[in-house]
Each structure stands twice: as structure tokens, then as C-alpha cells.
């Protein structure tokens, strides 16, 4: 191990301990570590964007003027200038132009994407679960497939009903529709299982990271 | 305009020129004498060409004409007056009165000759006019102001009642509203009256919702003292003069036209024999008192429930503390800062017959106490803090963290690393099968998008995947839109940096090539301009399920032939399962637990003993937390029941 690697390991050790100081609260050491991370990341990002985006995509094409591609390259450049102008005059109407274009494009892409990429495929998946080929196996009922199909349908309906029934309960007597409470509880069961799985995954991810860094620190100490 | 300016009457007091028919000076109010110049009956203003009157009219005709005179006529007869004017116009006589009629000139002449008789006659007419004009107008104005005042007050109460209708609709187990219970407390021996009040209140509520013309007529009839069953003519008059748009609002105050005002005067003059109806002092009998209470208490309740409203807001913002919303009803009763029992005892100890004045004073006292409470709450926090900062939670967090770190360190230092034998999940198996099915001539696009914090979960799996792909001889193309990925792993340096995140990928995935040349986004690619052109497989290496979902929503529909698989963290696993079930994902591996699908033993990647210790500690902590929470809840319920 050369000196550079040793210094990097030492810096990593110190920064890791500074991050661990968050157990004592939002201390100065934790703040220094966070600001160091943010500052280094921001600086690196600026360099990357200058090298890979701004210069090759916004500035270099201007050298080909008056070709069409160069003229078109003026469009993002002007929009970028208008966005920068927003830093100096927040109420500028011209600065709203690039924001409006960006917002409109993102909204349109999201709506189309959600429809094509999530809603339709998921609905077809539920419908296909009731396919006869999936519900039978060798001429006999495939009970596993049948159970999965009905559980999938029941889960979707029950979870959708949770939010709907929550609104109803505000205006109506809770005892009037007790059977609806049963469906609501069924949906909450699905939601609880989902959140439980996500929590386990979150803790597992954090625990693996914790073990990895502690292992790193122990290995560093064992070097001595 | 007059053709004869000499017809103007000069005021002897101030010299103001007045119209001919003017009884008083328009400037100083001085009575103008010499109006009835009866002497000679010849008009001084009559043109020379005109012939004088042939005969002298008898005094009876003169007096009769006086009654018909527009000056001395009743002001409440505008129609007759207008008809007379119209008739005069039709006869060719001027409307402005400058061309005097013959009879009037005769009266003036005679008044000049017989000053005493003319003066007495004029004084009688003036006195009659004064009396009728002053007294009638005063009474009409008072009655009208009283009506408008009551309508405005009722409208204000209705506004306040509507704004607090939810609070005012609080009912007890018997279905009685709060204000009715308070009335019953004040009238313990008048249950029947209270029931009647309740019924009246419901009727009042329904009436208050919308004023109809009949209700307005009834109100007018009651206020101006008309009989309960007026004749059709009177009803028709009222219906015409008080239309529905006269509903009292602050923005649109009702304005009566002149005929309407005159008809009001007429109605009041008809009702003059019963002047008691116009006084502003409320009747001091029981019925009036009940009506006052019926009107006052709901609005009073509205003021009192302001405090309850604030508590309800706190409860809405803090759903976990449902119990905090319970004291709302008691707060209304504890407005004086006294407990409910004390208030009830105080009410019970009062004499059964409570004088109305005492009730009113109590009502005023309640209002004063409510205002005192409101003023006292100025500057205080009305909305509860969502989360109180307890020192105990910080200490508990420290203890928990230290315990976890200590357990992990001990597990690493002590004992063997351990082993794990977990069943392979279906998505992981599918990912491995798809990876093994890649042919050597296939092109694989690897998209990197993860943070430094999750590299422990991702990079070992990514490195193994790259190794398998290289063994198969597939051509790899690494891209990223996250600058951090450019320097995280030296072995996975991306070939291209795609700016703008998902929009950058989308711009390339649409495959639209411009006729004018290269698009700026295409300059991000070093070699082949078509990023997705020859690609058969896409492997997303991301710690964000959101990024994967966006890829499936934005990119995959444009490139449906490309198979997509994912390397991600355990957090994203449950979220990506539906996309795997729907066939949009070929498979995914989530964290080191799925490393066995890639022929990697997890214990070689991380200390499994420490992992098991950490999971065990978390399970114990969760169980202890649930038990502690259940114990606290049971103790709180027991305390509430005891209370």
C-alpha cells in the first residue's frame, strides 16, 4: 500500500467517524462532513457539465454559423440565458418561458409515460392472470394460479377502496357500512405488508452499508 | 322654464327667489305670505291678450279646488298627482306652474284683499301639511329603520350561523343541539317551552335558509302592524313594494324608490291607531324573551365554539392524538374556566323562576367571558406542534445506534463470518436466466444510476454481471446521467454521459434524426449516434425504483424489442415486483441477498454474522417498541376511564 492509498484510507476513516457523530446529534463534525460531500459533488458536477454539456452542446455548435444546426443551437443557448437571468430578476416574465417549456414537456411526458408504461401494462397483467391457460395445468385446475389471480384482483380492489372509504367515513355514520370496513381492513393488510417489505429492504440496505464501512474501518485499524 | 320671470316669489326675509307655489322659502324656510291673493281674482301675470274670468267662483268651489291642489294634496297620492299633471299637460297648461290657473289667481287676489281670512286659511293648510309630513315621515322612517335593522341583524346571525354550522350542529345523545341544552339549563321547569323553541328553531333555520316573498310580507306585516290576514289589495301592494332583492346584505342595501316610500307612509298612516308596534323596546313577556333567546343563543354558541374549532384544527393536524379532540364539547361548557360539574351545580342552585333580565345578563356575561378567552389567547400557540421534541427520543436514538454498532463490531471481531442459505427469489432467478441467455454477438447497454451510499449493495452484483457478460463476449456500452457514477467504481467507467437525466434518454430513444444535422444531445455520444440501434439488452444498475419506473414508462415504450433487467437495492425490490409480474422486466436482483443467483456466495461479500446480528437487534427493538406502545395505550385508556 503506497502513501497515497494510506492517506485516502485515513481521510475515509476521519470522514466516516465524522458522519457517525450524527448519533450524538447534528454536530459540527457531521456538518463539516456533509458540506464537504456536497461541495465536492457540486464542483465535480460543474466540471462534468462544462466538459460534456455546455461546451460541446451549446458553445461549439456556434462555430458552424450560419448553418441551420448552429442556428438551432442558439435556441437552447437563449433559453439558458433566460434561466440564468432568473437568478438576478425573479419576477422576469421572459425567464418564465424556459420554465414553461420545461414544465410542459415534463408534464406531457409523465402523463403519456404513466399511461403507456404503468397503467395499461398493469391492468393487462391483472386481466391476463385470469387467462385459462394460466389457471389450468394439464387439464386440472392450477390452484396456485387461481389463488394468485384472485388475490391480485382482491388486493387491487381493497387497496383502492381504502382511500375511497376514508373519505366516506368523514361524512357518514361509521356503523352504517360495517362490511365496507372489512374491505378497508383487507386493503390495509396489503398496504401494511407492502410497507413492511419496503422497511425491511430499507433497513437491510442501511445495515449492509453500515457493516461494509465498519468492516472498512476495522480493516484499516488492522493494518497497524 | 318659465316664460314669466316676474312670477317668482321673493322671500321677504332673505330675498331668495322662490317658485310661485312655494309655501316656504327654499333658503331660509320663512313662510311666504300673500300666497292666496283672492282680491279681484285677476291674474297679474295673465297676458294682456287673455280674457279675464267671467264669473267669480263661490267659496265652496275654491275650497274644493284647494283639496285638489297639488300643493295641499296628500303626498301619498302620487298617481293622482301624476294624473292631474298629465291632464294639465294634455290641456295645454304648463307643468311648472308658472302659468297660473285662474282659480289660483283669484285666490291670491282675494288673499291680498282679505288678509286675515286668507292667512287663516293658509295657516290651516300649512299646519295640516306640516303635521302630516313631519309626523308621518318620522314614523315611517322609524318603522322602516326598525325593519331594516332587524333584517340586518338576522342576516348577520345567519351568516355567523352558516359559517359555524358544523359546530352549531353538535348534538347530544338525545339529538338535542347544544344551544337547546343551554336553554333547558336556564329554564329547568319549562321543558315544554323548550320543545316549542326547538321546533321554532327548526322552522327558523329553514326560514333563514332562504327568504321568500311571503315571509318578507309576513315580516313587514308584523312590523308595521297590519292585520294578520290583510286584504288582497294590501297584500298586492306589499308584494309590489318589497321585492325579494331587498334581502338585507351589507353590500347591497335596499333602496326604495319614491313611490315605494310613499306607499310605506300610506301603510304606516293606516296603522297609526296602534303606535305601540313601532317602538324599539322588545316586549318583556315570555314569548318575546324566548324569541330573543332563540335568536341569540345560537349566535352566542358560534362565538363560544371558536375555541372548540381551534381544538378541532389541532386534532385534525395531529391525527395520532385522537383523544385531544374529545375535550371540545367540554370546552364549551368550561368557557368560564369552571368545571362542568361546578357549572351544573351553579345552574341547579339557581331559583326556578329566573327573571328575564337575569337571563340577559347571564347571556352578556357569557359573551364577555368568551371575548375574554379570545383576547387572552392572543399571542399564544393555537395549533399544536406536530411533533414535540423529547429529550428521551434523542437519547433513545443514541442508545439504539450505539447498540447496533456495538453488535456489528462484536459480530465482526468475534467468531466466523457465518454463512447464509436463502432461497432464490423468482426475479433473481429470471435475471440470471436472462443473463445466461445473452449471445456473444448481442449488444448490451448498461445504464448506471446509483449513489455512493448504496455502492455496497450494488457494485458487487454489478461487477459480477460485467464479468459474466465479458465471459460471454457481449459488447458492452456503459452510459450514465449521474455525474457521481463517473468516479465511483474505476472498473465501471461509463463510456458516455447523457445529460438531462431521463429527458436525455428520451430524446435519444425516440430515434428522430433531424434533416438539418446533428442534434445537440447526439453530441453526447462518442461513437454510434444511435444509442439504442443495435442494443438487444438493457441492464439498469440503479438504487432508485423511481428511475427504473421512469425508464419503463419513458424509454421502453419507444424501444419495445429491448429486454430490460435491473440490479438494485433491497428497498426497490418490492416496488419493482409488479413490473416483473407484468413482463416489463426480465428480472432483477435486489441486494446482496440475491447474489447467490449470480454464483456468488453472499458471505464473501459481507460478514453474514454481523448482518444477522443487526437484523436480530432490529427485530428485538421493533418488538419492544410495539409492546411498549401497546402498554402505554392501555395505560392511557385506563386513566381516561378512571377519569
Instruction: Determine, for residues B456 and A20 on separate chains, whether the beta-carbon distance falls below 8 Å.
Output: no
- Decide if pLDDT at B345 tops 70: no
Question: Mutate which of A83, A196, A207, A216 to disrupt the B interface (most B C-beta within 10 Å)?
Answer: A207
Contact B32/B11 with Cβ under 8 angstroms? yes
Q: How confident is the model at residue B93, as a pLDDT? A: 44
B293 to chain A nearest CA, in Å? 31
In chain A, DSSP finds a helix count (H) and a strand count (E) of: 8, 2
Smallest CA-to-CA distance from B451 within A129, A217, A37 is with A37
Residues of A in contact with B575 (CB under 8 A): 198
Instruction: Determine, for residues B394 and A23 on separate chains, whether the beta-carbon distance falls below 8 Å.
Output: no
Instruction: Determine, for residues B549 and A118 on separate chains, whether the beta-carbon distance falls below 8 Å.
Output: yes
Instruction: Determine, for residues A113 and B618 on separate chains, whether the beta-carbon distance falls below 8 Å.
Output: no
Residue B329 or A105, more confident: A105
Q: Measured in Å, how far apart are chain A's first and last C-alpha atoms?
A: 12
* Whether ipTM exceeds 0.90: no
Tell me the average pLDDT across A165-176: 60
Contact B111/B38 with Cβ under 8 angstroms? yes
| Banded pLDDT at B173 (limits 50, 70, 90) | low
A18 to chain B nearest CA, in Å? 15
B154-165: pLDDT as tens digits: 888 888 877 665
Strand B443-449 versus strand B475-480 pairing type: parallel
**C-alpha cell read off for B121:** 286659511
Angle among Cα A13, A18, A21 to the nearest 5 degrees reads: 130
Nearest CA in chain B to A76: B520
Q: How confident is the model at residue A33, as a pLDDT? A: 92
Tell me the average pLDDT across B74-95: 46
- Decide if pLDDT at B231 tops 50: no
Pick from B125-139, B498-512, B574-588: least confident:
B125-139
Instruction: Determine, for residues B517 and A68 on separate chains, whether the beta-carbon distance falls below 8 Å.
Output: yes
Residues of A in contact with B590 (CB under 8 A): 201
Instruction: Determine, for residues A113 and B453 on separate chains, whether the beta-carbon distance falls below 8 Å.
Output: no
Q: Which of B456, B550, B579 has its CB closest to that of A209?
A: B456
Residue B111 CB partners (closer than 8 Å, separation 6+): B34, B35, B36, B37, B38, B39, B117, B118, B119, B121, B122
A87 vs A80: CA distance, rounded Å: 12
Residues of A in contact with B483 (CB under 8 A): 41, 44-45, 48-49
Q: Which pairs with CB-CB distance under 8 Å and at least 24 residues apart come from B256-259? A: B256/B144, B258/B78, B259/B78
Tell me the average pLDDT across A8-33: 86
Tell me the average pLDDT across B216-228: 68
| Banded pLDDT at B566 (limits 50, 70, 90) | very high
- Decide if pLDDT at A210 tops 70: yes
* Residue B602 host element (H or E): helix B602-605
| Cα B401 to the center of its chain, rounded Å | 48
Rank A53-67, B30-44, B291-305, B434-448 by mean pLDDT and report only the highest: B434-448
Residue B328 or B439, more confident: B439
- Decide if pLDDT at B196 tops 90: no
Residue A177 or B265, more confident: A177
- Decide if pLDDT at B611 tops 80: yes
Residues of A in contact with B606 (CB under 8 A): 208, 211-212, 215
B509 to chain A nearest CA, in Å? 13
Instruction: Determine, for residues B552 and A109 on separate chains, whether the beta-carbon distance falls below 8 Å.
Output: no
Question: Mutate which of A17, A63, A117 to disrupt the B interface (most B C-beta within 10 Å)?
Answer: A117
Tell me the average pLDDT across A75-98: 85
B495 vs B474: CA distance, rounded Å: 16
Percent over 70 (pLDDT), chain B: 51
Residue A172 or A192, more confident: A192
**Structure letter (DSSP) for residue A173:** -
User: Which residues on neighbouring strands pair with residue B587, listed in sequence order?
Assistant: B565
- Decide if pLDDT at B89 tops 90: no
Nearest CA in chain B to A21: B398
| Banded pLDDT at B138 (limits 50, 70, 90) | confident
Q: How confident is the model at residue B41, as a pLDDT? A: 46
B593 to chain A nearest CA, in Å? 10
pLDDT mean across residues, chain A? 85
Instruction: Determine, for residues A125 and B582 on separate chains, whether the beta-carbon distance falls below 8 Å.
Output: yes
Give me the residue label for grid cell 447534528.
Answer: A26
Instruction: Determine, for residues B611 and A118 on separate chains, whether the beta-carbon distance falls below 8 Å.
Output: no
| Banded pLDDT at B188 (limits 50, 70, 90) | low
Q: How confident is the model at residue B604, as a pLDDT? A: 76
- Decide if pLDDT at A60 tops 80: yes
Instruction: Determine, for residues A122 and B497 on separate chains, whether the beta-carbon distance falls below 8 Å.
Output: no
pLDDT mean across residues, chain B? 68
Q: How confident is the model at residue B305, as a pLDDT? A: 44
Residue A219 or B493, more confident: A219
Instruction: Determine, for residues A201 and B574 on separate chains, whether the beta-carbon distance falls below 8 Å.
Output: yes
Q: Which of A72, A114, A198 has its CB closest to that of B571?
A: A198
Q: Which of A23, A52, A61 has its CB closest to that of B401?
A: A23
Tell me the average pLDDT across A132-150: 87
Instruction: Determine, for residues B569 and A56 on separate chains, whether the beta-carbon distance falls below 8 Å.
Output: no
Q: Which of A58, A113, A208 has its CB closest to that of B457?
A: A208
Share of chain A residues as helix, strand and coil, in percent rounded to the nearest 5: 85, 0, 15
Q: How confident is the model at residue A94, as a pLDDT? A: 84
| Banded pLDDT at B380 (limits 50, 70, 90) | low
| Banded pLDDT at A25 (limits 50, 70, 90) | confident
Report pTM: 0.54
HEC string of B327-338 equals: CHHHHHHCCCCC
Instruction: Determine, for residues A211 and B408 on separate chains, whether the beta-carbon distance falls below 8 Å.
Output: yes
Q: How confident is the model at residue A100, as a pLDDT? A: 92
Q: How confident is the model at residue B632, as a pLDDT? A: 92
Amino acid at each position: 500500500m503506497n502513501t497515497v492509498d494510506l492517506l485516502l484510507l485515513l481521510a475515509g476513516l476521519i470522514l466516516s467517524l465524522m458522519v457517525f457523530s450524527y448519533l450524538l446529534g447534528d454536530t459540527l463534525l457531521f456538518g463539516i462532513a456533509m458540506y464537504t460531500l456536497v461541495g465536492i459533488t457540486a464542483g465535480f458536477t460543474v466540471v462534468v457539465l462544462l466538459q460534456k454539456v455546455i461546451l460541446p452542446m451549446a458553445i461549439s455548435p456556434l462555430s458552424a454559423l450560419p448553418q441551420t444546426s448552429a442556428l438551432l443551437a442558439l435556441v437552447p443557448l437563449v433559453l439558458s440565458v433566460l434561466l440564468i437571468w432568473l437568478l438576478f430578476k425573479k419576477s422576469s416574465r421572459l425567464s418564465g418561458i424556459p420554465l414553461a417549456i420545461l414544465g410542459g414537456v415534463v408534464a406531457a411526458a409523465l402523463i403519456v409515460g404513466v399511461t403507456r408504461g404503468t397503467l395499461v401494462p398493469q391492468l393487462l397483467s391483472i386481466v391476463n392472470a385470469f387467462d385459462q391457460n394460466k389457471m389450468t395445468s394439464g387439464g386440472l385446475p392450477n390452484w396456485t394460479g387461481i389463488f394468485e389471480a384472485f388475490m391480485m384482483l382482491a388486493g387491487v380492489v381493497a387497496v383502492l377502496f381504502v382511500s375511497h372509504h376514508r373519505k366516506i367515513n368523514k361524512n357518514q355514520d361509521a356503523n352504517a357500512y360495517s362490511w365496507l370496513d372489512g374491505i378497508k381492513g383487507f386493503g390495509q393488510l396489503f398496504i401494511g405488508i407492502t410497507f413492511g417489505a419496503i422497511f425491511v429492504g430499507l433497513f437491510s440496505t442501511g445495515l449492509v452499508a453500515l457493516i461494509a464501512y465498519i468492516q472498512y474501518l476495522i480493516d484499516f485499524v488492522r493494518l497497524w | 322654464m318659465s316664460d314669466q320671470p316676474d312670477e317668482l316669489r321673493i322671500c321677504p326675509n332673505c330675498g331668495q327667489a322662490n317658485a310661485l307655489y312655494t309655501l316656504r322659502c327654499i333658503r331660509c324656510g320663512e313662510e311666504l305670505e300673500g300666497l292666496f291673493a283672492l282680491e279681484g281674482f285677476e291674474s297679474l301675470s295673465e297676458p294682456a291678450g287673455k280674457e279675464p274670468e267671467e264669473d267669480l267662483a263661490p267659496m265652496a268651489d275654491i275650497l274644493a279646488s284647494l283639496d285638489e291642489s297639488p300643493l295641499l294634496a296628500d303626498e301619498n297620492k302620487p298617481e293622482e298627482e301624476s294624473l292631474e299633471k298629465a291632464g294639465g299637460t294634455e290641456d295645454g297648461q304648463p307643468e311648472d306652474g308658472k302659468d297660473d290657473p285662474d282659480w289660483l289667481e283669484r285666490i291670491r287676489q282675494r288673499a291680498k284683499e282679505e288678509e286675515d281670512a286668507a292667512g287663516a286659511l293658509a295657516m290651516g293648510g300649512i299646519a295640516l301639511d306640516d303635521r302630516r309630513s313631519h309626523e308621518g315621515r318620522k314614523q315611517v322612517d322609524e318603522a322602516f329603520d326598525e325593519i331594516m335593522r332587524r333584517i340586518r341583524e338576522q342576516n348577520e346571525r345567519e351568516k355567523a350561523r352558516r359559517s359555524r354550522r358544523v359546530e352549531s350542529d353538535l348534538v347530544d345523545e338525545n339529538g338535542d343541539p347544544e344551544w337547546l341544552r343551554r336553554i333547558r339549563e336556564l329554564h329547568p321547569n319549562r321543558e315544554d317551552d323548550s320543545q316549542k323553541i326547538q321546533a321554532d328553531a327548526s322552522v327558523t333555520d329553514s326560514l333563514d335558509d332562504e327568504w321568500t316573498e311571503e315571509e318578507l310580507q309576513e315580516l313587514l306585516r308584523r312590523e308595521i302592524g297590519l292585520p294578520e290576514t290583510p286584504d288582497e289589495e294590501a297584500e298586492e301592494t306589499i308584494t309590489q313594494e318589497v321585492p325579494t332583492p331587498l334581502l338585507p346584505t351589507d353590500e347591497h342595501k335596499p333602496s326604495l324608490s319614491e313611490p315605494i316610500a310613499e306607499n310605506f307612509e300610506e301603510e304606516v298612516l293606516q296603522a297609526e291607531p296602534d303606535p305601540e308596534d313601532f317602538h324599539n323596546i322588545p316586549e318583556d313577556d315570555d314569548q318575546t324573551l324566548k324569541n330573543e333567546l332563540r335568536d341569540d343563543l345560537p349566535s352566542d354558541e358560534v362565538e363560544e365554539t371558536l375555541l372548540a374549532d381551534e381544538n378541532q384544527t389541532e386534532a385534525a393536524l395531529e391525527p395520532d392524538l385522537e383523544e385531544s379532540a374529545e375535550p371540545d364539547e367540554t370546552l364549551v361548557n368550561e368557557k368560564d374556566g369552571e368545571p362542568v360539574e361546578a357549572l351544573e351545580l351553579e345552574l341547579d342552585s339557581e331559583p326556578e323562576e329566573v327573571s328575564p333580565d337575569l337571563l340577559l345578563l347571564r347571556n352578556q356575561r357569557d359573551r364577555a367571558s368568551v371575548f375574554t378567552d379570545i383576547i387572552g389567547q392572543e399571542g399564544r400557540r393555537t395549533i399544536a406542534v406536530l411533533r414535540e421534541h423529547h429529550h428521551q427520543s434523542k437519547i433513545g436514538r443514541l442508545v439504539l445506534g450505539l447498540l447496533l454498532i456495538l453488535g456489528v463490531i462484536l459480530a465482526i471481531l468475534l467468531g466466523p463470518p457465518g454463512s447464509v442459505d436463502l432461497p432464490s427469489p423468482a426475479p433473481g432467478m429470471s435475471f440470471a436466466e436472462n443473463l445466461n441467455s445473452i449471445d456473444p454477438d448481442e449488444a448490451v447497454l448498461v445504464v448506471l444510476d446509483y449513489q455512493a451510499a448504496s455502492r455496497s449493495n450494488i457494485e458487487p452484483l454489478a461487477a459480477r454481471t460485467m464479468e459474466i457478460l465479458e465471459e460471454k463476449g457481449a459488447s458492452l456500452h456503459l452510459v450514465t446521467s449521474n455525474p457521481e457514477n463517473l468516479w465511483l467504481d474505476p472498473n465501471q467507467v461509463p463510456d458516455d454521459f447523457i445529460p438531462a437525466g431521463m429527458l436525455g434518454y428520451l430524446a435519444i430513444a425516440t430515434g428522430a434524426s433531424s434533416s438539418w444535422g446533428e442534434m445537440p444531445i447526439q453530441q453526447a455520444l462518442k461513437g454510434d449516434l444511435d444509442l439504442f440501434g443495435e442494443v438487444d439488452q438493457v441492464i439498469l444498475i440503479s438504487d432508485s425504483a423511481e428511475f427504473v419506473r421512469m425508464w419503463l414508462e419513458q424509454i421502453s415504450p419507444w424501444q419495445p424489442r429491448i429486454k430490460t433487467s435491473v440490479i438494485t437495492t433491497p428497498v426497490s425490490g418490492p416496488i419493482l415486483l409488479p413490473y416483473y409480474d407484468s413482463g416489463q422486466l426480465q428480472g432483477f436482483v435486489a441486494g446482496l441477498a440475491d447474489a447467490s443467483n449470480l454464483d456468488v456466495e453472499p458471505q464473501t461479500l459481507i460478514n453474514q454474522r454481523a448482518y444477522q446480528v443487526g437484523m436480530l437487534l432490529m427485530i428485538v427493538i421493533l418488538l419492544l417498541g410495539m409492546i411498549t406502545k401497546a402498554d402505554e395505550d392501555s395505560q392511557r385508556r385506563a386513566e381516561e376511564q378512571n377519569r
